[in-house]
């Protein structure tokens, strides 16, 4: 697993959809190896922030720096997509709806990108994939089809697929929200293992218990702004703003 220092720096990040302001001049620095939980009400900008970081959503103003790479709104300044390509190599993304290829087996899903993007030969890609499937507890399912798997198993395959590109970190977009409690725990256990290994994790999540237990830092986004940023105990137990207190009352009861 690649280590190395790789700071994420976000400056004045702004995103609009029509007249609606989704991200309102976000400023944020994430240190290499941190596990950061992004929480907040629906529509607050959490998923959009991740998608901007991964180059899936083009933003309107500001800049994103990941290590030596800088992403700006002007595509010409991004080397015609070269910067986005580098960012996706550095940070894999795992989605709520898995996005596995239904026509490929579990093993084929995991080897696809290393072969096509990294140019890994078939045998090397298979060896890497099998190690990762064992790591996420799915070694015996390499020949299964996605439709034969539970939701938790699909999400663990999606994590293995992202790790097959040997990224420095993972961007996780509500990856347990569609799962039953037992299946959620399967996926969260894999993420806790990655945290212990020092991988940078940036997670949009509604799992407040996981954020409290595993995150180094909790960010609360609401109305396009970061309104709380601190240690889990600070943000979750002693929120400073009325908006944060109202949100946490709604989710914690």
Residues 96-138 have pLDDT tens digits of: 888 899 999 999 999 999 999 889 999 999 999 999 999 999 9
Question: What tokens does 72 get?
Answer: 């700006």
Q: Which of 39, 34, 71 is nearest to 56 (CA)?
A: 71
Q: What is the total count of domains within the chain? A: 1
Within-domain flag for 160 = no
Within-domain flag for 149 = no
Strand 217-222 versus strand 225-230 pairing type = antiparallel
pLDDT digits (tens, 9 = 90+) for 210-253: 899 889 999 999 999 999 999 999 999 999 999 999 999 998 87
Within-domain flag for 215 = yes
Instruction: Record the pTM.
Output: 0.89
Within-domain flag for 247 = yes
pLDDT score recorded for residue 79: 62
Question: What tokens does 129 get?
Answer: 């994939």
Q: Which of 70, 65, 57, 55 is nearest to 22 (CA)?
A: 57
Residue 244's domain is classified under what CATH number?
3.40.50.300
Q: What's the domain range around 220?
A: 8-100+170-252
Lowest mean pLDDT among 137-146, 156-165, 173-182, 191-200: 173-182
Helix, strand or coil, per DSSP, at residue 17? strand
pLDDT score recorded for residue 78: 61
Within-domain flag for 26 = yes
Within-domain flag for 195 = yes
């Amino acid at each position: 697993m690649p280590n190395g220092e790789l700071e994420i720096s976000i400056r004045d990040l702004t995103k609009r959809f029509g007249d609606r302001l989704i991200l309102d001049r976000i400023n944020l620095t994430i240190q290499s190896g941190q596990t950061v939980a992004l929480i907040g009400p629906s529509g607050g900008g959490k998923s959009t922030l991740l998608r901007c970081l991964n180059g899936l959503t083009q933003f309107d103003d500001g800049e994103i720096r990941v290590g030596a790479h800088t992403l700006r709104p002007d595509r010409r300044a991004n080397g015609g997509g070269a910067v986005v390509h580098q960012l996706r190599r550095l940070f894999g993304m795992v989605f709520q709806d898995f996005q596995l290829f239904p026509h490929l087996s579990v093993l084929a899903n995991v080897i696809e990108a290393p072969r096509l993007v990294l140019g890994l030969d078939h045998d090397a890609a298979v060896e890497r994939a099998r190690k990762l499937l064992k790591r996420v507890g799915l070694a015996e399912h390499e020949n299964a089809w996605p439709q034969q798997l539970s939701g938790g198993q699909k999400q663990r395959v999606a994590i293995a697929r992202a790790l097959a590109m040997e990224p420095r970190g993972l961007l996780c977009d509500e990856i347990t929200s569609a799962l039953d409690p037992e299946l959620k725990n399967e996926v969260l256990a894999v993420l806790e293992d990655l945290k212990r290994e020092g991988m940078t994790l940036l997670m949009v999540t509604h799992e407040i218990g996981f954020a409290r237990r595993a995150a180094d830092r909790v960010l609360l986004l609401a109305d396009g702004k970061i309104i709380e940023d601190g240690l889990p105990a600070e943000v979750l137990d002693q929120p400073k703003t009325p908006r944060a207190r109202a949100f946490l009352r709604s989710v914690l009861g």
